Amino acid sequence: MIPADSLPRLMHGASDRPLTLSQHEQAFTPSSNSTSLLDELEASGLTGRGGAGFPTARKARLIREQRGHSKFMVVNAMEGEPASHKDQTLLGANPHLVLDGAEYLASVIGANHIAVCVARDNPAAVNHLKRAIHERTRRSLRGPKLELHTPPWRYVAGEESALVHWLDDNESLPQYRPHRPHILKIGHGAVLVDNAETCANVGLIGRFGAEWYRGLGTADSPGSTLVSVTGAVPRPTVIEVELGTPLRTILATAHADPDPQAVLLGGYGGSWLSATYLDVPYCNEALGTVGVSTGAGVIVVVAKNACGIVETQRIVKWMANESARQCGPCAFGLPALADDLSQLASPSRDPQGAYQRLVERCQVIEGRGACRHPDGVIRLVRSALKVFETDVDSHLHGAACSAARSTRHYASVPSLEREEELIWE
């Protein structure tokens, strides 16, 4: 058994190749536990690691209570965030821990189908899962049917309603959900969707129990979590940390710039945070006091020689391109926000007018999208205007900040990286 107060947990036994099923079972020997898994999940306090942070037990109970015999468990390993590599890293270390959790959850809700979804553009993860599923099905044909699905990679394709839509109708389009929680369905069957890291944590809780699980973390945010750290680092890295660890310690572990300008938390639909707050613990109850959250487990570190408005413009332009374009806020609002940010950062345009339009557009767009994609971009933009206030002030007075034409960018934006000029085109 892994000691309760030690790390790694999720990455225990990780090497340069994924654990086989027999290696996994040797590394994660279960303890005796007579309590029902749903009760253990409830007692553990586990919340989803995909970004929303919804209590895992509550989601499982909601689907369990739905009528009908054809229920589905969906493992979301799509990892649409460009700055995130934690699902890929986890699947490259121990896909069987993820599949353990999926099987536990399927038993809780009464599902006889498990759909494991990973982007077809990620052949390494696809191969890891193919081998792991083959090992399990060869050993036993009992239990829920495990199937691997490979949707195309897009940012919105990883949104849970878009993923279920693809499984049901082969279209990666988010579904309109005015109220949450909302029961997603494949055909007439209710669906439980959890991301890969969440499933891996369920696998740990199913083996070792809630008390063991709460041996790390805080009272409100128990356990450990995987964090993708990119930007001003020697190389992008994924580390497992105890929830409640100070941000500064996480950056030091990743060998990041020790004196950055700011960090982006939660992914590209998250929020910028000034380096003034690097001593805040990495858990939602602490981060919430400064207006941010752990989100999808992404930290992008931005050095002081960067322009925060330029970095934000690059992300917003990419996010606009990645939208489903189902409604006005995505089809027209997000490209307009990217253009406003471009004009704000360019001394030859109209920064004063661009700033005013940015503020107004954020108010108009917020809460009006068919999905939450536009709201995430609005959150990002508003935090940028606040955290990078000095850069904004320089641009508003007609003087581009000294870093505006820096050749180094810290936010990874795949579809734009080949463009020679991102702002003054």
Q: What is the pLDDT of residue 314?
A: 93
- Which one, of 235, 392, 380, lies nearest residue 314 by Cα? 380
Q: What is the pLDDT of residue 416?
A: 53
Non-local (6+) Cβ contacts of 326 within 8 A are 173, 174, 370, 371
- Does residue 16 sit within a domain? no
Domain stops at, among 245, 269, 302: 302
Contact in structure between 273 and 387 (CB atoms under 8 Å): yes
Q: What is the pLDDT of residue 172?
A: 74
Domain stops at, among 267, 302, 337: 302
String of DSSP letters for 170-237: S---PPP-SSSS--EEETTEEEEEEEHHHHHHHHHHHHH-HHHHTTSB-SSSBSEEEEEEEESSSS-E
- Does residue 5 sit within a domain? no
Q: What is the pLDDT of residue 138?
A: 77
Contact in structure between 333 and 365 (CB atoms under 8 Å): yes
Q: What is the pLDDT of residue 6?
A: 86
The DSSP call for residue 32 is: P
H or E stretch covering 95: helix 95-109
Residues 259 and 135 in one domain: no
Q: Would you call 354 exposed, middle or buried from its count of C-beta atoms within 10 A (0-12, 13-18, 19+)? A: buried
Q: How many structural domains compose the chain? A: 3
According to DSSP H, which parts of 110-159 are helical?
123-139
From first to last of its 425 residues, the chain has per-residue pLDDT tens of 677 778 999 999 888 899 999 999 998 887 656 578 999 999 999 999 987 788 999 999 999 999 877 899 999 999 988 899 999 999 999 999 999 999 999 999 999 999 999 999 999 999 999 999 999 987 766 678 999 999 998 888 788 888 999 899 887 777 765 565 678 999 989 999 999 999 999 999 999 999 999 999 999 999 999 999 999 999 999 999 999 999 999 999 999 999 999 999 999 999 999 999 999 999 999 999 999 999 999 999 999 999 999 999 999 999 998 876 778 778 888 999 999 999 998 876 788 999 999 999 999 998 877 677 889 999 999 999 999 999 999 889 877 675 655 668 899 888 654 443 333 33
Residues 170 and 242 in one domain: no
- Does residue 409 sit within a domain? yes
**Spatial distance between the Cα atoms of 92 and 102, rounded to a whole number of angstroms:** 17
Residues 200 and 326 in one domain: no
Q: What is the pLDDT of residue 3?
A: 75
- Does residue 91 sit within a domain? yes
Centre a 10 Å sphere on the Cβ of residue 55 and count the other Cβ atoms it contains.
15
Residues 169 and 61 in one domain: yes
Contact in structure between 262 and 387 (CB atoms under 8 Å): yes
**Domain assignment of residue 386, given as a range:** 308-416
Contact in structure between 126 and 87 (CB atoms under 8 Å): no
Non-local (6+) Cβ contacts of 362 within 8 A are 337, 378, 381, 382
Residues 233 and 313 in one domain: no
- Does residue 13 sit within a domain? no
Q: What is the CA radius of gyration of the chain?
A: 22
Query: Angle at Cα 55 formed by Cα 50 and Cα 60, nearest 5°?
Result: 95
Centre a 10 Å sphere on the Cβ of residue 296 and count the other Cβ atoms it contains.
29
pTM of the predicted model, to two decimals? 0.92
Residues 251 and 376 in one domain: no
Q: What is the pLDDT of residue 424?
A: 31
User: Among all chains, which residue has been given the structure tokens 């964090």?
Assistant: 227
Q: What is the pLDDT of residue 422?
A: 39
CATH number of the domain to which 200 belongs? 3.40.50.11540
Residues 292 and 393 in one domain: no
Q: What is the pLDDT of residue 217?
A: 97
Domain stops at, among 192, 213, 234: 213
H or E stretch covering 327: none
Residues 398 and 335 in one domain: yes
Query: Angle at Cα 96 formed by Cα 91 and Cα 97, nearest 5°?
Result: 85
Residues 36 and 145 in one domain: yes
- Does residue 423 sit within a domain? no
CATH number of the domain to which 345 belongs? 1.20.1440.230
